[in-house]
Structure 1
Amino acid sequence: MTDRKPQNQDKFILRMPDGMRDRIKSVAEKNNRSMNSEILSTLSAAYPEPATLVADMSLEEVIELVASDGLPRQLKKGKSVTTVVMEADGSIQATSQYTSGIVTLKAN
């Protein structure tokens, strides 16, 4: 997330069904964060940043990069594309797509 002054950040008014605000507040309290942070965390998990294409790196280097900054990356080698993402629990998941199928690896 970029450092922006609150007056320059996007604002959005949201209508919620009865009881949802209380559910969000309860979960936010359990996670020791504000309701705003809880909503942003949930939205970030549902709508992650698009993966950045990287080249001339090994899979291990890409995994280390994602682990350090949390931003998803794609590594293209030959006929395969490997997408590396950090899951909400902090684990790293690498999914490789080949012309013949998909392989998913998950590491903590």
Structure 2
Amino acid sequence: MKINVLFFLLATGFCFSQGKYSTTQVSQIIRPDYETASHAIITKALALDSESGSWVIIYEHQINVKKYRNTREVKTKELNDAYDFSNNVLTGSTSPTKSPEPEEVEGPILGANPLNR
């Protein structure tokens, strides 16, 4: 009897200790921004909500680079920042509401859809 009660308490503890997000995915695209004559690097991090099973944007950032040859360093830095933020959200050390606000971009955002599995 005691073993059944302990097993029940252990099983409910595992269920309640599940995090809000189960996994994350980071996507990044580079597209020309014709209004400012530069290149926009757009980085997004999505998290899979463990309760509803839907993808939620937890991090979104855009930065403009004047010359295309300078995008490599900026792209790597932005990608590392997004990975760090998404890992912190998974471990619970960062709230997903602290994501920086994206700058307004007009026109369609081209690239792969990160919601496709």
TM-score tier (shorter):
0.3 to 0.5
TM-score by length of 2: 0.30
Q: Which has the larger radius of gyration?
A: 2
TM-score by length of 1: 0.32
* Larger relative contact order (Cα-Cα within 8 Å, sequence gap ≥ 6): 2
